[in-house]
Structure 1
Amino acid sequence: MTFVDLTVFILYLIGIVLFGSSFYKKNKTASAFTLGNNNIPSWVITMSIFATFVSSISYLALPGQAYMSNWNAFAFSLSIPIASLMAIKFFVPLYRKVNSPSAYTYLEQRFGPWAKSYASIMYLLTQLMRAGTILFLLALPLHVLLDWNITAIIVVTGFSVMIYSLLGGIQAVVWTDAIQAIILIVGALVCGFIIMFSMPEGPNQILEIATQGNKFSLGSFKVGLTSSTFWVVLIYGLFINLQNYGIDQNYIQRYMTSGSEKEAKRSALWGGLLYVPVSAMFLFIGTALFSYYQSGAGILPAGIEGDKVFPYFIVNQLPVGLTGLLIASIFAAGMSTVSTSLNSSATVILTDFCKLPEDDSRTAKRSMKILYLSSFIFSVLSIIIAVAMINVQSALDAWWKLASIFSGGMLGLFLLGYFAPKVKSKGAIIGVVAGVLMIGWMSLTPYIFTSDSLKVYASPFHNYLSIVFGTVAILIIGFCVGTVIPSSTRKRE
């Protein structure tokens, strides 16, 4: 990087930290820290929900996937409008009625304390792994391409996010999310235009080369459950986005920060819909890069492929100054996701695990201490996980899969509570156990039963479908058991 690029990047990092920290004076109560006193503009919440969808993984992985294969991943984005409509129809009104900063208070009301504790713990573990993974992936391309110390990148980025998230609370998170979302969109647009007008024969050459390579394909439309077809990715995206909108604290907390239910619905709808064209733009960048290097406009060194192609282009092909902007936009995507996880996790810890008496004058100060301490501990742990990934990625990949297995049961539990009002705690417990076992079988057995004699016991289905099958298992078994248990109880009486 040139001095100008480095200056742009450092100024961005310092500016975000200072701007987020400036909300400290407005962040003196637990309500301000977790809900922003319900007076945050709806457009800011909209951009924050969009930024929650996008991470540094999306920023690098989508172009990388389009470069290596096709637009199959866009089927995931096409499921978002369906999930968005369900959110404004069912989820937003429900959580606004419950009126709790925590997404899991509703589960406690339906099934008892165990449901809230199960969902809260699984959420916290999943967010820890998510934040650690993103910090690691954020640092990896800079380490590979610029030879910066990867541990130093992780630590600096992690503590930068911690400072403004801790000091500014949810207001700092959503406002910096909004700014970072704008930066990443502008950065991607600039990069897309530069690639288009760098082609030897003009922008149309991108379409010609990409069409010849079948790069715009959405995947196979055949009906099947064993490969990543269009339908498999679409169904997977629907269930994942229902989980995001319906049970993920990151999203539910934003419903509650809005000033009214109408504003919350608007933000939920447009925050999700905005991701659809932006994800298409990321995929187009990957396709354009394929055409760019195929045309001979640039040369890729050996070993640069997949997720590394876009960062390589940013560092080596962009004009001075724009490289710094694009790297800042990659960091914007990652930092917004980590800050969201940090604030939401602190909120869950206070609301679900620290019951403080409302009539005690010391409760307000104690609440803020818990929020600050939780934010600090979560930040440190996520940094430790990210650093550990440098050398022990395989072990942490296994743990990430385990965390995904348990979190996969949360959507089914929520849907069971919402759509089967007669099902009580016992039916829900048995349903969740069955669903988690199903997800575990589909996720882990292909890696456990690898020998020819044992492959018959492994799941033949694509691993995208684990959350689908697991959620359906919770709904069916929980409903059946939940309706049998009450009837048998009445007969005994």
Structure 2
Amino acid sequence: MTSLTIRPLDAIAIAAYLVGMLTLGFISARRSATAEHYFVGHRDFPGWVIGLSMLGSIISSTTFLALPAAAYVLDWRQLTVNLMVPIVAVVAIVIFIPFFRRAGLTSAFEYLGDRFGPVARLYGTASFIFLQLIRLAQVLFLMSLPMQFLTGASIEWVIVGAGVFVALYAVAGGMETVVWADAIQAAIKVLGGVLCLICVVKEMPGGFAQIVDVGTANNKFSLGKFEWDVHQRTFWTVAILGLLNWLNIYSGEQTIVQRYVSAKSTWEARKATMIFSAVAVPVWTMFFFIGTSLFVFFRVFPDPAVASLQPDQMLPYFVFKHVPVGIAGIVIAAVLAAAMSALDSGVNSIATVTVVDVLKPYLAKGRSDRFYLTAARVATVAALVLAVGGALFFSRLEKESMNDVSLIVFSVLGGAITGVYMLGFFTRRVDGFAVNIALAVAVALNVYLGLGVMKVLPEAWRVPVHSYWVGTVVNLVFMAIAYGIARFRRASTRDLSGLTVWTMKKADGRPEAAGQ
């Protein structure tokens, strides 16, 4: 594998992209003079830029490498997670966005503090940072695979080098760098995916039709069995996981909420969400089709080296071996863009919640703006260091594909945060006391089910459900307990104006205008 060497035109395409990202970061750094600007820019981004930025943030190297790997190894059933996006997007556009744009919020978890108190806020903050660090580690590992092919260096050095490069432009520029870089990177990623698909189809003797025929004969386009079985990855198991996943992302994922509040108006934030939701599903579908195409390609053109590859290495191997010079450089630049857009968004969001939800209200009250800006940059570097450590771990982990790992991580380690937001938005009776008690039970249940999934517990003590069901069970139990406690307590007299769907009015009693 180390015999694969980079060609001059490919190197030029990759270098041009990397230099462009560094330049954008240092230009934006001159404008990031305050902590507020570092977190949300000037809150004046247009909807189309925010929409592309959301696409760049969500469509990471997990999309570019792990989705084709999932289709190559199995079929299209994991696409079902992303088919739930349009359903949840409607709820986000109508309900979630106005919540987060009220009163100049910066963090998703400020809402939880207003609604339920400090325990819910800190639980949400800790859960987000933990999951985001795992996601960044996965992204950084996947980004390093093609770079390992390029350089011939060990995966460890490639991971460290990639982390350092992202730090050079993400730490300096803050949210302004993130939004514009992610928008540019989104366009590069889509272009790279399209070029890669064209190259696969052109190599096939029977073209597109041959891919469809062979893929169908091998059941590669299946979305899973349409039956109810909590022990298997059926269509309904993955669909329910998808609903939970996207409810979490649209209602409490800081990287998305930060974009809601960075838009110049509520209408622009809604427009951004519509743009993202409309573009993302076809893009995800394209990457699953690329994975199926690679499966067909290597059946038609057997390659002994393929047997030694991890599934996540299939796409970069094809690119270096079979994509024309120059175009291969664009595709690899797209893989790097996919990773960097997720990394810069992730570390910036971690820095934001660290300062806004931990330092300002609890650990370092009343400090200067310069202190908080410095703390944000330190938190960004710390997040990247931890992501590098996690990427090194994933490089040694036995796995079906990183996409499967991502779904398991979200389900098993995601906790009850989606349930907390749903009770906050849609109930008036549930208060902080009920939520705190229910969270204690949910955390204990989560640990128990997680230990069962990891087979730490004796078999007789385990609950026989697939790992994809853990998050759903934990959230349902949490909501049932919290609401049950609230029903037996006297209704709270606390003013919930602007905090639930039933009380989302302006102070003068008129509904919020779409443009505010």
Q: TM-score, normalised by structure 1?
A: 0.91
The answer to whether residue 16 in structure 2 is matched with residue 4 in structure 1 is: no
Are residues 221 and 346 of structure 1, via their aligned partners in 2, closer, same or farther at CA, if it must alter by over 3 Å?
Answer: same
Cα offset, 1:317, TM superposition: 0.6
Q: Which residue of 2 aligns with 1:457?
A: 461
The answer to whether residue 389 in structure 2 is matched with residue 384 in structure 1 is: yes
Amino acid corresponding to residue 156 of structure 1 in structure 2 = G
Are residues 353 and 301 of structure 1, via their aligned partners in 2, closer, same or farther at CA, if it must alter by over 3 Å?
Answer: closer
Are residues 361 and 304 of structure 1, via their aligned partners in 2, closer, same or farther at CA, if it must alter by over 3 Å?
Answer: closer
Q: Which residue of 2 aligns with 1:415?
A: 422
d(CA) in 1 for partners of 2:85, 2:266: 20
Amino acid corresponding to residue 251 of structure 1 in structure 2 = I
Q: Report if the CA contact (8 A) 1:66-1:215 is conserved.
A: yes
RMSD in angstroms over aligned alpha carbons?
2.7
**Please, which runs of 5 or more residues in structure 2 have no aligned partner?**
1-5, 493-516
Amino acid corresponding to residue 170 of structure 1 in structure 2 = M
Amino acid corresponding to residue 155 of structure 2 in structure 1 = I
Q: Deviations over 1:39-78 (max 9, x none)?
A: 1121111011112221112211111121222111221121
d(CA) in 2 for partners of 1:355, 1:362: 8
Amino acid corresponding to residue 119 of structure 1 in structure 2 = G
Q: Which runs of 4+ in 1 moved over 6 A?
A: 400-404
Amino acid corresponding to residue 468 of structure 2 in structure 1 = Y
d(CA) in 2 for partners of 1:216, 1:423: 44
The answer to whether residue 320 in structure 2 is matched with residue 315 in structure 1 is: yes
Are residues 402 and 47 of structure 1, via their aligned partners in 2, closer, same or farther at CA, if it must alter by over 3 Å?
Answer: closer
Q: Which residue of 2 aligns with 1:353?
A: 358
Q: Which residue of 1 aligns with 2:480?
A: 476
Q: Report if the CA contact (8 A) 2:412-2:467 is conserved.
A: no
Are residues 234 and 392 of structure 1, via their aligned partners in 2, closer, same or farther at CA, if it must alter by over 3 Å?
Answer: closer
Are residues 200 and 256 of structure 1, via their aligned partners in 2, closer, same or farther at CA, if it must alter by over 3 Å?
Answer: same
Q: Which residue of 2 aligns with 1:142?
A: 147
Q: Which residue of 1 aligns with 2:511?
A: none
Q: Report if the CA contact (8 A) 2:411-2:472 is conserved.
A: no
Amino acid corresponding to residue 408 of structure 1 in structure 2 = G
Q: Which residue of 1 aligns with 2:91?
A: 86
d(CA) in 2 for partners of 1:204, 1:142: 33
Cα offset, 1:296, TM superposition: 2.7
Q: Report if the CA contact (8 A) 1:198-1:297 is conserved.
A: no
Are residues 182 and 67 of structure 1, via their aligned partners in 2, closer, same or farther at CA, if it must alter by over 3 Å?
Answer: same
The answer to whether residue 28 in structure 2 is matched with residue 23 in structure 1 is: yes
Helix, strand or coil for the counterpart of 1:302? Answer: helix
Are residues 229 and 362 of structure 1, via their aligned partners in 2, closer, same or farther at CA, if it must alter by over 3 Å?
Answer: closer
Q: Which of 440, 463, 468 in structure 2 is aligned with 1:433?
A: 440
Q: Report if the CA contact (8 A) 1:49-1:272 is conserved.
A: no
What is the 5 A alignment of 1:179-328?
179-296=184-301, 301-304=306-309, 306-328=311-333
d(CA) in 2 for partners of 1:393, 1:296: 27
**Please, which runs of 5 or more residues in structure 1 have no aligned partner?**
489-493
Helix, strand or coil for the counterpart of 1:218? Answer: coil
Q: Which residue of 2 aligns with 1:339?
A: 344
**Larger displacement relative to structure 2 (360-369 or 198-207):** 360-369
Amino acid corresponding to residue 371 of structure 1 in structure 2 = A
Amino acid corresponding to residue 413 of structure 1 in structure 2 = V
Are residues 311 and 477 of structure 1, via their aligned partners in 2, closer, same or farther at CA, if it must alter by over 3 Å?
Answer: same
d(CA) in 2 for partners of 1:487, 1:316: 67
The answer to whether residue 449 in structure 2 is matched with residue 442 in structure 1 is: yes
The answer to whether residue 117 in structure 2 is matched with residue 112 in structure 1 is: yes
Cα offset, 1:449, TM superposition: 5.3
Amino acid corresponding to residue 281 of structure 2 in structure 1 = V
Q: Deviations over 1:76-103 (max 9, x none)?
A: 1210111111111111011112431011
Cα offset, 1:336, TM superposition: 0.7
d(CA) in 1 for partners of 2:167, 2:288: 31
Amino acid corresponding to residue 470 of structure 1 in structure 2 = V
Amino acid corresponding to residue 473 of structure 2 in structure 1 = F
Cα offset, 1:381, TM superposition: 2.8
Q: Which residue of 2 aligns with 1:128?
A: 133
Cα offset, 1:340, TM superposition: 0.5
Cα offset, 1:361, TM superposition: 11
Amino acid corresponding to residue 60 of structure 1 in structure 2 = L
d(CA) in 2 for partners of 1:333, 1:76: 19
Cα offset, 1:118, TM superposition: 1.7
Q: Deviations over 1:429-475 (max 9, x none)?
A: 1222222333333332033357xxx4232121111111111111111
Q: Report if the CA contact (8 A) 1:125-1:403 is conserved.
A: no
Q: Report if the CA contact (8 A) 1:442-1:461 is conserved.
A: no
The percentage of counterpart residues that share the same residue type is 31
**Larger displacement relative to structure 2 (174-183 or 410-419):** 410-419
d(CA) in 2 for partners of 1:144, 1:404: 32
Q: Report if the CA contact (8 A) 1:401-1:443 is conserved.
A: no
d(CA) in 2 for partners of 1:403, 1:263: 29
Cα offset, 1:145, TM superposition: 7.1
Are residues 426 and 402 of structure 1, via their aligned partners in 2, closer, same or farther at CA, if it must alter by over 3 Å?
Answer: farther
Q: Report if the CA contact (8 A) 2:408-2:468 is conserved.
A: no
Q: Which of 124, 148, 166 in structure 1 is aligned with 2:171?
A: 166
Q: Deviations over 1:137-164 (max 9, x none)?
A: 3213433675223233222221221222
d(CA) in 2 for partners of 1:223, 1:166: 47
Cα offset, 1:315, TM superposition: 1.1
Q: Report if the CA contact (8 A) 1:53-1:272 is conserved.
A: no
d(CA) in 1 for partners of 2:379, 2:184: 25
Cα offset, 1:297, TM superposition: 7.6
d(CA) in 2 for partners of 1:406, 1:426: 24
d(CA) in 2 for partners of 1:321, 1:135: 24
Aligned residues: 481
**Larger displacement relative to structure 2 (142-151 or 45-54):** 142-151
d(CA) in 2 for partners of 1:213, 1:362: 62
Q: Report if the CA contact (8 A) 1:346-1:374 is conserved.
A: yes
Q: Which residue of 2 aligns with 1:491?
A: none
Q: Report if the CA contact (8 A) 1:449-1:458 is conserved.
A: no
Q: Deviations over 1:139-190 (max 9, x none)?
A: 1343367522323322222122122222211010011101111111101101
Helix, strand or coil for the counterpart of 2:42? Answer: helix
Helix, strand or coil for the counterpart of 2:429? Answer: coil
Are residues 325 and 112 of structure 1, via their aligned partners in 2, closer, same or farther at CA, if it must alter by over 3 Å?
Answer: same
Helix, strand or coil for the counterpart of 2:416? Answer: helix
Q: Report if the CA contact (8 A) 2:146-2:332 is conserved.
A: no
Helix, strand or coil for the counterpart of 2:192? Answer: helix
Amino acid corresponding to residue 389 of structure 2 in structure 1 = I
